[in-house]
Structure formats: structure tokens, C-alpha cells
Amino acid sequence: MKKIRTILALCAIGFVLAFSAGAVVAQNDPIAQRKALMKAIGDTGRAPAAMLKGEQPFDLAAVQTALKAMQAAGKASLALYPDNSKSGGDTVALPKIWENKADFNAKLAKLESDATSGLSKITDEASFKASYPDILRGCGDCHRDYRGRR
Ligand code: HEC
């Protein structure tokens, strides 16, 4: 009985170790992380895009969720384009990023600061319609130069 308990305990420790090793790999995978952050912007941005077109009623909370995702992505992405992440992981990031790193990083910083000012400026439907399209222009400005196609 004692032996079985020891074996079970060892299995549990093994499981925990294997699990935390997996988590460390995910944390050290900048390509997966930057893609997940961009995907979060895309996903949370669907509702505001529909609101702009008048296909969905205005919902301030949903707009703020999208802006917060942009803020988080703009900030965290600065560290997610190390030199060893130019290829692999199904990335569509273009080599031009690493040739113009200062410009690319400035565009990421702008994504964060635009989202931050959007969070304070956008308080109702009128201010949403006035400011949000300008924020979205930043997406295309960066993708045009720095994102390839899958
Ligand atoms: C500073 C540059 C930059 C800005 C600003 C930017 N993006 Fe991106 N985005 C990228 C790059 C680079 C990729 C490709 C990342 C990769 O594949 O490694 C990407 C990928 C994506 C993807 C695909 C994610 C996936 O599933 O792989 C979506 C969706 C996206 N961006 C949406 C947006 C939206 C919406 C905005 C504006 C609110 C935005 N991005 C602003 C650079 C940017």
C-alpha cells in the first residue's frame, strides 16, 4: 500500500514538472505570443467594427474591451520580435521589421497610446464614431509594411 502511494506521488510530481515545463515553453515562444495578442485584437474588434457600420447597437463596454486588447498588444509586443523569431511558428511577420525596428516599435507604441487616448476620449456613440476609425488606420499602416500573407 505504501509503495503504491509513493508511486502515485511520484507520478503527480512528474505530471506537475511536465506541465510547468510546457508552460515555460509557451512563455518563451514569442511568435505564438505575438500572434495570440494580435488575434485578441481581431476578435474583440469585430463588435466595434459592426457598430461602425450600424450593423450592431453601440456598446461602450465592448469598445473598451477592444481598446484594452490593443493597449496590451501594443505594449507587450515590443518584446516579442527578438532576432531569433524571424521565421518559424507559421509567422507572417516580414523581414522588414528587423531592418526598420525603430519604426516598427514606434508603430507598436502608437497602437498603445492611441488605444489609451481612445479609452479616455470615447464615452458615447458620437465620440466612438469620431475617434475609432483613426485608431483602426494604425492597423493597416503597420500591416501594409510589416505583415505578409499566409
Ligand atoms: C506595429 C505593427 C502592427 C500594428 C499597429 C497592428 N498589427 Fe496586427 N500584426 C502585425 C504583425 C507583424 C502580424 C503578424 C505576426 C506574426 O505572424 O508573427 C500581425 C497579425 C495580426 C493578425 C493575425 C493574428 C494571427 O492569428 O496570427 C490580426 C487579426 C491582426 N494583426 C489585427 C490587428 C488589428 C485589428 C490592429 C489594429 C487595432 C493591428 N493588428 C495592429 C503588426 C501590427
65-77 confidence digits (pLDDT tens): 999 999 999 999 9
Distance 66 CA to ligand 1 centre (A): 14
Asked if 78 and 20 count as a contact pair (C-beta separation under 8 A), the reply is no
Which is it for the CA torsion 140, 143, 148, 150, positive or negative?
negative
Cβ neighbors of 112 (< 8 A, separation 6 or more) are 70, 71, 74, 75
Decide: 138 in ligand 1 pocket, CB within 6 A. Answer: yes
Report the alpha-carbon angle 44-22-8, nearest 5: 125
92-124 confidence digits (pLDDT tens): 999 999 999 999 999 999 999 999 999 999 999
Average pLDDT, the chain: 89
Decide: 62 in ligand 1 pocket, CB within 6 A. Answer: no
**Closest C-alpha to ligand 1, atom 36:** 139
Asked if 138 and 108 count as a contact pair (C-beta separation under 8 A), the reply is no
5-40 confidence digits (pLDDT tens): 655 555 454 444 444 444 444 568 999 999 999 999
Query: For a pocket test of ligand 1, which of 31, 114, 143, 145 has the largest count of ligand atoms closer than 8 A to its C-beta?
Result: 143
Decide: 48 in ligand 1 pocket, CB within 6 A. Answer: no
Rounded distance, CA 44 to CA 136, Å? 13
Q: pLDDT class for 2, splitting at 50, 70, 90?
A: low
Query: Which atom of ligand 1 sits closest to the CA of residue 42?
Result: 29
